[in-house]
Amino acid sequence: MPDALQFPIIDLSSPDRFSIANLIRQRCVDHGFFYLVNHGVDEELISKVFEQSSNFFSLPIEEKMKLVTKNHRGYTALHAEKLDTTLTTRGDSKESFYIGPLTDDLNQWPLEEDLPSWRCTMETYHQKLLSAVTKLLSLIALSLKLEEDFFEKVGALIEPLAFIRLLHYPGDLNSSSEEIFGASAHSDYGMVTLLVTDGVPGLQICREKSKQPRVWEDVPSMSGAFIVNIGDMMEGWTNGLFRSTLHRVLQPRQDRYSVAFFTNPSKDCIVECLESCCTESCPPRFPPIKAIDYLEERVRLTYGL
């Protein structure tokens, strides 16, 4: 059995911003995951989001398929996605629902008469999470010896591509001999992800993604805290200094629900190595890339488009 990790706790309300920034830096260099508390998102709202998520996933499949994903918004069915594109097995054993930026008209919503207050709950949650993640990114900027508003200045937060992803992992689906994951091994695409779960275990990380065999460690949920992890674009900005850690979700024995909030830069933002993260002996490892180009390629691979 893998060991269970206990990540450090980052207090978003702490007045000692430089100490917190230094702690974030240490943890992002070590393994790219930490807990975030005092984030300003009420437990009551989080409970409502889980309740509404369960209500949606309990609908008949034909009702859910009326909202099948378009423009990366809406419902994705079981096995529709394979995060580890090297696997030859079926897609991942999860269903999900994507809610993107509230500033456009691309989101799909269940009918109010079917799921009362569903849209209102999700819009409130999106706004609260975007506020929390904006505060967190100012601390991440400080941790990189940058000005607090660095990510605003480079255009990452003009219209960030921020997505809620409601996730449902049905329990004990695997009746075949092939190994199926709730979410196969992957790293997240963007800047940072804030995750909250219902407490059912399953999340694991692999700190050394280039080593074989891979060593997986359990990540326990923590009441009142978000689990935060660094994404690929932040790894690109920092020239690999901050880790976009490989993670996966095992097939659970009982139904498991979680809610992820993916923060990607504005579509035209250029992600390129920070001057402070490269030297002559350590040149940029990743070429500059426009955020939307990177995201579209990763989505194409994930869904086999």
**Amino acid found at 200:** V
Tokens of 169: 């992992």
In a domain, 285, yes or no: yes
Non-local (6+) Cβ contacts of 120 within 8 A are none
The backbone torsions φ and ψ at residue 19, rounded to the nearest 5 degrees and listed phi first, read -65, -40
The pLDDT of residue 175: 55
The pLDDT of residue 84: 82
The pLDDT of residue 161: 96
The pLDDT of residue 89: 76
10-residue mean pLDDT series, the chain (305 residues): 68 95 94 94 98 97 96 92 78 94 95 95 98 97 96 96 97 66 91 97 88 89 94 95 94 94 97 91 92 89 67
Q: Quick one: which H or E segment has residue 299? A: helix 291-302
In a domain, 37, yes or no: yes
Domain coverage including residue 193: 9-303
Number of C-beta neighbours around residue 158 at 10 A: 12
In a domain, 196, yes or no: yes
In a domain, 1, yes or no: no
CB–CB of 183/84 below 8 Å? Answer: no
- CATH number for the domain including 13? 2.60.120.330
In a domain, 223, yes or no: yes
Helices (H), 204-265: 232-237
The pLDDT of residue 174: 58
The backbone torsions φ and ψ at residue 168, rounded to the nearest 5 degrees and listed phi first, read -130, 125
Give the pTM.
0.94
Number of C-beta neighbours around residue 178 at 10 A: 9
The total of structural domains in the chain comes to 1
3-state secondary structure of 219: coil
Q: Rounded to the nearest 10 degrees, what angle do helices 118-143 and 43-57 cross at?
A: 130
The angle subtended at Cα 97 by Cα 193 and Cα 166, nearest 5°, is: 45
In a domain, 2, yes or no: no
In a domain, 175, yes or no: yes
Non-local (6+) Cβ contacts of 167 within 8 A are 94, 95, 96, 183, 257, 258, 259, 260
Q: Tokens 């911003």 sit at which residue?
A: 17
The pLDDT of residue 227: 96
Tokens of 93: 């054993």
In a domain, 139, yes or no: yes
How many alpha carbons lie under 13 Å from residue 155 in its C-beta half-sphere? 10
